[in-house]
Every structure is written in C-alpha cells, then in structure tokens.
Chains A and B, each alone.
Chain A
Amino acid sequence: MAEPHLIGEAMTGGYGRGADILHGCTLSVDKGEIAVIVGPNGAGKSTAMKAVFGMLNLREGAVRIGGEDITHLSPQDRVAKGMAFVPQTSNIFPSMTVEENLEMGAFLRRDDIRPTIEQVYDLFPILRDKRRQAAGELSGGQRQQVAVGRALMTQPSVLMLDEPTAGVSPIVMDELFDRIIEVARAGITILMVEQNARQALEIADKGYVLVQGANAYTGTGAELMADDEVRRTFLGG
C-alpha cells in the first residue's frame, strides 16, 4: 500500500516535561480524504492533532507529509510545508476585517493572493458580503468560516481542524460540514477532531477512536458507525 499523504506514526509524548499523554498513537490520511478523531473527554484527541502539527515534543514516533519526515520542524515551518491548522478558540484576528484576516493567512505568500481570496469567497459566500466588517463582530458560525478561510489561504495540502463546530447551532454545523466536504473534494486532506462524533463520522472517510492517548478503533466512518461496541461506548447507543 502506498504511503498516505499525511501520517503521524506511533506518536508518544506530552506537553513540556509533563507525563506522556499519547501512547503510540497513529493517525494517517490519504490525499483528499476526511479523517475524524473522536473519543471520550481527555482521550488526547486535540493533543494527537497538535502532535501532528508540532505543538508538542514527541519522544517517539514520526510525522511525515508526502513522504517527507517533518518530525522535527516547528509549527511555522510545517505551515510552509503545506499544513494549515484551525485552533478551537481564538482562531481569528477579531479587530481586523474579514479580508484582512484572509490576507494575514497568506502572510508567507509572495505571489498574487487575489484568486485564493476569491476561492474562499466562493466557498463561503457570506464572507464576501462581510469582507469589510471586523471579524470579531460576526456570528459564531461566520467566525468559524473566517477561521477556515484564513487557514486555506496558504493553499495547504492538509487542513487540520480542532472541533470546528464547538458552540455553533446544528444548522450551522451541517452547513460547515458540507463546506468541509467541498474542501476535501478540491483535493485537500482533512484531519479534524470532533465532539459531535455521530455527524462527523457520517462524513468521514476514516475514523479514529482514541482512548487514553492510544488507538482504540480505526475504520471507515461507516464501519465505526456500524460497530456495536463503538456505538454503545462512544456514540450513546
């Protein structure tokens, strides 16, 4: 089997000098696929994703993108390698306009960013209307769109989302998932952590259930939904 586009292999580590949170956790996604990490509270879901993004030091394991080992790169350098990350909170520049938020997302790019901005506006049409408005004044769902749009501005090959639907209404959540599918169809690999496990697994090509920092179940979204054990334990029946 060919190497997946993004792989975090047998990752073990924790924050600073603290105890290990991840214990040999492996995450991998193919190009243009959506992978979702679910699991109970404190299972290390966000930590696993942050490990892939280089926000904590791994004691063991490796992270590769497109076959290239990036285990020792800083998050900033990983952005240059084509990764983009949308944090769960404080993921926009609130006092700047929507358009400026997008420009800042493309800070490292020296080429013409207009076409990319247009692509983001095509993806999230509401942002085009609000582009002169301060991002901090938008509704929760719109802010998430700004956050995702900002991340897309680097034209990444991998988009990582940390609970993108936290705190938004179910309607907005469905809308956001639709957009994420659209992004994946454009060939961008997606790795996300979700609290709303059921809805997330419905759109997932691949699902990871983590328990205590280790892989508990892995499969396609549909497989996991069909698995009685997973349903009973994590999806509430």
Chain B
Amino acid sequence: MTDFLNAIVALSNFVLVPGAAYGAQLALGALGVTLIYGILRFSNFAHGDTMAFGTMATILVTWGLQSIGISFGFLPTALIALPIGIAITGLLLLGTDRAIYRFYRKQKAAPVVLVIVSIGVMFVMNGLVRFIIGVGDVNFADGARFVINAREFKEMTGLDEGLAIRTTTLITLVTAAIAVALLFWFLNKTRTGKSMRAFSDNEDLALLSGINPERVVAVTWLIVAALATTAGVLYGLDKSFKAFTYFQLLLPIFAAAIVGGLGNPLGAIAGGFVIAFSEVLITYAWKKVLVYLMPENLEPSGLVQLLSTDYKFAVSFAILITVLLFKPTGLFKGQSV
C-alpha cells in the first residue's frame, strides 16, 4: 500500500503537477494564437516573441519595483508588475497593428501574406528583446520558492517520496484559471465579446449588423497582449526567461491551437493540456514510479524513458501530424480545413 502511495506521489511530483503547470502556460499561449486566427484570420508567427516582449516588459518593471523596495511578500514581485507589462505590450501590439497589419487588412491581403508579414514582425520583436535585455538567462522569480517542499511533505506523510509544490506552479494554475474565466466571461457575456465571436463566425454579416471591425481588432490585440504576457511571465517564473526559448515555444503552442481546432478557444485550452501532458509523459523517466509498483526482481534497470527530453518537440509534432492526418479541423471543431 505504501508502495502504491509512493508511486502516486512520485507520479504527481514529476508528471502531474509540472504537466499541469506547463499545460496551463501552453493553453494561455494557444488562446492568443487562436484568437488572432479567429478574428484576423492568420497564423501569427510573432506570438512567441510577443510573449517574450511582454515578459521582458514585466521583468523591467519588476526590477524597477524591487529597486524602490516594493515586494509582494511570499509571492513574486512580477505579479504586481504584470498589469503594467500587459499595458506596455498592449500598446506595442496596437502600434504594430496600426503601422503594419492594418495596411494589409484594408487591402484584403491573402492570409499567407499576413503570415509572412508576421515573420517580419517576429524578427523586429526578437531583435528588440535581445537589444533591450540581452540573450542570456534571466531569473526573476522572488518570494517563497515552495508552498510545500519535499522534505516537509515526507515528514507530514511519512512516505519515502516527497511532493514539492512550487509557488510558481500554484500561481500558474491560479492565474491561468482566472485568466481563462475572465476571457470566457468576456466572450460569452459582454456585448463587445459577443461581437468578437460574431466577427469571427461571419465577418460580412457582422459588418451588416453594424459591428465595427477596427474596434473588434483593437480589442483582440489587447486581449492577446494580456494572454501572451501572462503566459510568458508564468513560463518565465516557472523556468527562466530567455529570448530564444520563447521563440521555440511557438511550435508546441501552434500544435496546441491546431490540435484543439484553430479559432476555437475551448479547443486551445484542451490542446494545451494534451500537448503538455504528452510531452511530459513521453519524456519522463518512469523508473522512479515503477520501482514502487513492480516486484523487486522485475524492477527496471534503465530509466524507462520513452524518448529523451530533447525530443519533446517531436512529441508535439507527432500529435500535430496525427491530428492533421485524421481530423484536420482539430479535436474541437475549428474554423479551417
């Protein structure tokens, strides 16, 4: 029985809890991608770098707050800085839209043109981030590291395995839940939110109904700024901030959005968790769990890791391809084929 409990704890500690946190971060990222796809109708390659920019802005504000002696008790200071980071990113995105995207929207350019334009934006944002904060690792998490650490857990329960819950994990889950709840409340209950869904559903009819497209687009960018910055800051708190890592997040985020069905917010959330758990499950060394479950003489000698962690992209990719082959509109019905 204790063995079984130990196995469960080990599983939670190394797979379930980190997977849930990562899933929440991907889900927030994928929501941003899916909203842009639904409203502006293109795949935004600059999304990873938007997340990086938002995180950078938040980090700079965090440093500013710390230098004047403001902190947030056992929570990271970055949480106070987050709204300001979101505001700065929102301004940047609105500016980008005004200066760049709007021109192509007026021309009714093909989606692929907008994708290429977003690649240009990606370059500029990436350069901007590198220029301002550099390419190195930035660790900006402060406050208490653990809500409950492994040693305390062991003492409390008397088990051999510890369950450590990091503050950042808890913050990630709580913040993501709040953000998603707010988003869905906004989309389903407010006039502006409904007009966004209407615009995403049927642009021409939305125009006939008197919905102002420019306003819908502006609101979308602001929401995307909030989602991207939040996702980026949570990811950065959980791991660390590095410009290039954020660019690489593009692949699992797109995979999550497509697996869930592009343009479908619920799907984006589901997709985020599907991708995150598959990555963690397949790249986890199962030995730690199996030693408790197997009889002694059958205990595995190796790590029992299906794929090395370096192949985590391969996992999102494989899921993506499977979905594209068998259900191109995603698990939840998306907009495109």
Structural contact, B202 and A107, CB atoms closer than 8 A: no
> Of B194, B200, B210, which contacts A76 at CB under 8 A?
B210
Structural contact, A104 and B211, CB atoms closer than 8 A: yes
Q: B182: CB under 8 A from chain A?
A: no
Structural contact, A92 and B202, CB atoms closer than 8 A: yes
Q: B137: CB under 8 A from chain A?
A: no
Chain B residues with CB under 8 Å of A75's CB are: 207-208
Quick one: closest A residue to B211, CB to CB? A107
Structural contact, A93 and B204, CB atoms closer than 8 A: no
Structural contact, A92 and B205, CB atoms closer than 8 A: yes
In the bound assembly, the distance between CA atoms of A150 and B209 in angstroms comes to 9
A contact residues, total (Cβ < 8 Å): 20
A100-127 vs B, CB cutoff 8 Å, 1 = contact: the mask equals 1001110110000000000000000000
In the bound assembly, the distance between CA atoms of A75 and B210 in angstroms comes to 9
Q: A96: CB under 8 A from chain B?
A: yes
Question: Which of A11-19, A21-29, A83-91 is the interface stretch?
Answer: A83-91
Quick one: closest B residue to A79, CB to CB? B210
Chain A residues with CB under 8 Å of B200's CB are: 95
Structural contact, B204 and A87, CB atoms closer than 8 A: yes
Chain B residues with CB under 8 Å of A85's CB are: 208
Structural contact, B210 and A107, CB atoms closer than 8 A: yes
Q: How far is the CB of A107 from chain B (nearest CB, A)?
A: 5
Q: How far is the CB of B216 from chain A (nearest CB, A)?
A: 11
Chain A residues with CB under 8 Å of B202's CB are: 90, 92-94
B183-197 vs A, CB cutoff 8 Å, 1 = contact: the mask equals 000000001001101
Quick one: closest A residue to B195, CB to CB? A107
Structural contact, B195 and A96, CB atoms closer than 8 A: no
Structural contact, B201 and A93, CB atoms closer than 8 A: yes
Q: B249: CB under 8 A from chain A?
A: no
In the bound assembly, the distance between CA atoms of A150 and B204 in angstroms comes to 14
Q: B92: CB under 8 A from chain A?
A: no
Which of A93, A105, A150 has the most C-beta atoms of chain B within 10 angstroms of its own C-beta?
A93
> Of A90, A95, A107, A108, which contacts B197 at CB under 8 A?
A95
Quick one: closest A residue to B200, CB to CB? A95
Given the known interface contacts A87-B204, A93-B201, the answer about A100 and B209 at a Cβ–Cβ threshold of 8 Å is no
Quick one: closest A residue to B188, CB to CB? A100
> Of A80, A87, A93, which contacts B198 at CB under 8 A?
A93
Structural contact, A108 and B208, CB atoms closer than 8 A: no
Structural contact, A90 and B205, CB atoms closer than 8 A: yes
Structural contact, A76 and B207, CB atoms closer than 8 A: yes
Q: How far is the CB of A28 from chain B (nearest CB, A)?
A: 23
In the bound assembly, the distance between CA atoms of A148 and B205 in angstroms comes to 12
Which of B191, B208, B211 has the most C-beta atoms of chain A within 10 angstroms of its own C-beta?
B208
Structural contact, B209 and A105, CB atoms closer than 8 A: yes
Q: How far is the CB of B203 from chain A (nearest CB, A)?
A: 9
In the bound assembly, the distance between CA atoms of A43 and B314 in angstroms comes to 57
Structural contact, B205 and A96, CB atoms closer than 8 A: no
A171-211 vs B, CB cutoff 8 Å, 1 = contact: the mask equals 00000000000000000000000000000000000000000
Structural contact, B201 and A80, CB atoms closer than 8 A: no
In the bound assembly, the distance between CA atoms of A85 and B207 in angstroms comes to 12
Chain B residues with CB under 8 Å of A96's CB are: 194, 197-198, 201
Q: B206: CB under 8 A from chain A?
A: yes
In the bound assembly, the distance between CA atoms of A80 and B207 in angstroms comes to 12
> Of B195, B201, B208, B209, which contacts A95 at CB under 8 A?
B201
Q: How far is the CB of A65 from chain B (nearest CB, A)?
A: 16
Chain A residues with CB under 8 Å of B195's CB are: 104, 107
Q: How far is the CB of A213 from chain B (nearest CB, A)?
A: 24
In the bound assembly, the distance between CA atoms of A108 and B208 in angstroms comes to 10
Structural contact, B204 and A90, CB atoms closer than 8 A: yes
In the bound assembly, the distance between CA atoms of A95 and B211 in angstroms comes to 17
In the bound assembly, the distance between CA atoms of A108 and B210 in angstroms comes to 6
Given the known interface contacts A76-B210, A150-B209, the answer about A104 and B204 at a Cβ–Cβ threshold of 8 Å is no
Quick one: closest B residue to A95, CB to CB? B201
> Of A93, A95, A103, A108, which contacts B205 at CB under 8 A?
A93
Structural contact, A104 and B207, CB atoms closer than 8 A: no
Chain A residues with CB under 8 Å of B197's CB are: 93, 95-96, 100
Quick one: closest A residue to B264, CB to CB? A95
In the bound assembly, the distance between CA atoms of A108 and B207 in angstroms comes to 11
Q: How far is the CB of B108 from chain A (nearest CB, A)?
A: 13
A143-172 vs B, CB cutoff 8 Å, 1 = contact: the mask equals 000000010000000000000000000000
In the bound assembly, the distance between CA atoms of A100 and B194 in angstroms comes to 8
In the bound assembly, the distance between CA atoms of A87 and B202 in angstroms comes to 12
Quick one: closest A residue to B333, CB to CB? A95
Q: How far is the CB of B319 from chain A (nearest CB, A)?
A: 25
Interface residues of A (CB under 8 A from B): 75-76, 79-80, 85, 87, 90-96, 100, 103-105, 107-108, 150
Question: A96-B197, A100-B197 are known contacts; what are 8 more A-B pairs with Cβ within 8 Å?
Answer: A76-B210, A90-B202, A93-B197, A93-B206, A95-B200, A95-B201, A104-B206, A107-B198
Closest 10 CB pairs of A and B: A108-B210, A93-B201, A104-B198, A107-B209, A93-B198, A107-B210, A104-B209, A95-B201, A93-B202, A90-B202
